[in-house]
Amino acid sequence: MSRWTDTVFILVVVIDFFALASSRLGAAIRAVAAQGALLSLLPVLLATGEHQTAHVVALALGALLVKGIAIPLMMGWAIREAAVRREVEPIVGFVPSMVLGAVGVALAFAFSGGLPLPTPEKHPLLVPTSLATVWTGLLLVVSRRKAVAQVLGFLVLENGVFVFGVLLSDFMPVMVEAGVLLDLFAAVFVMGIVMFHINREFASLDTAKLSALKD
């Protein structure tokens, strides 16, 4: 079981780098969907005898439905309606983004060992993977021009928060976790509607052009 858990954490970080390197929004959406599906396995893989089976299954299924299926479908609909396929001119280039991502991963592994944790017996890759994924999400949000890519950054960032939340799953009631997933779903749903209307009115999802709007 530990080998499978290690594989999930490694794949999550690999997908972080793929999201930073990809200019194709469709491929990035599928990658983030795969990341969400992988993360839905963590509550099961990290479950201990103290966990309630219903709690673990509910969290895993909720994460899979929201992160792996519902949100990627909404994002796919958004890029089809907006007729946008690529992030052509990011604020920070793809290669520099990957370098910054690598620096973030290295720092995450360097500093995670010194953090005081409520459950130190949890998997040693859990916290560094969480911090690295949060860093990747922040990079995507601030370094991309297309609104779709920025929303993907928000999703990756939330994936990192979810990984860290697994660390606290023993102390968080299932309703709180369900509320977090519901908030994420609602936020992306609203973002999808906003992106659709921005593209319909201004024929672009480049957020740099929005600064030129006048009252």
Structure-block tokens of residue 96: 């520099």
pLDDT value, residue 201: 47
Is residue 112 a part of any domain in this protein? Answer: yes
Q: Average pLDDT over the chain, rounded to whole?
A: 77
Residue 169 lies in a domain: yes
DSSP 86: B
Position of tokens 């890519």? 149
Has residue 137 been placed in a domain? Answer: yes
Residues 75-117 have pLDDT tens digits of 887 777 767 778 777 888 889 999 999 999 999 988 877 766 6
The answer to the question of residue 7 being in a domain is yes
Q: Is residue 178 part of a domain?
A: yes
Total-model pTM: 0.79
Q: Domain residues for 204?
A: 2-210
Number of compact structural domains in the chain: 1
Residue 162 lies in a domain: yes
Kindly give the residue spans of alpha helices, DSSP state H, lying in the chain: 2-21, 25-39, 42-45, 53-63, 71-82, 94-112, 126-143, 147-167, 174-202, 207-210
pLDDT digits (tens, 9 = 90+) for 166-215: 776 655 555 555 556 665 666 666 566 556 655 554 455 555 555 555 54
Task: Quote the tokens at residue 125.
Answer: 């890759």
Pinpoint the alpha helices (H) of 40-125. Answer: 42-45, 53-63, 71-82, 94-112
118 falls within a domain: yes
Under 8 Å between Cβ of 68 and 48: no
In this predicted structure, what is the pLDDT of residue 194?
Answer: 59
Rounded Cα distance, 181 and 168, in Å? 15
Sign of CA dihedral 75, 80, 83, 84: positive
Query: What b/e sequence results for 10-30 when a residue is b if at least 16 CB atoms lie within 10 Å of its CB, and e otherwise?
Result: eebbebbbbbbebbebbebbb
In a domain? residue 215: no
Average pLDDT for 23-52: 82
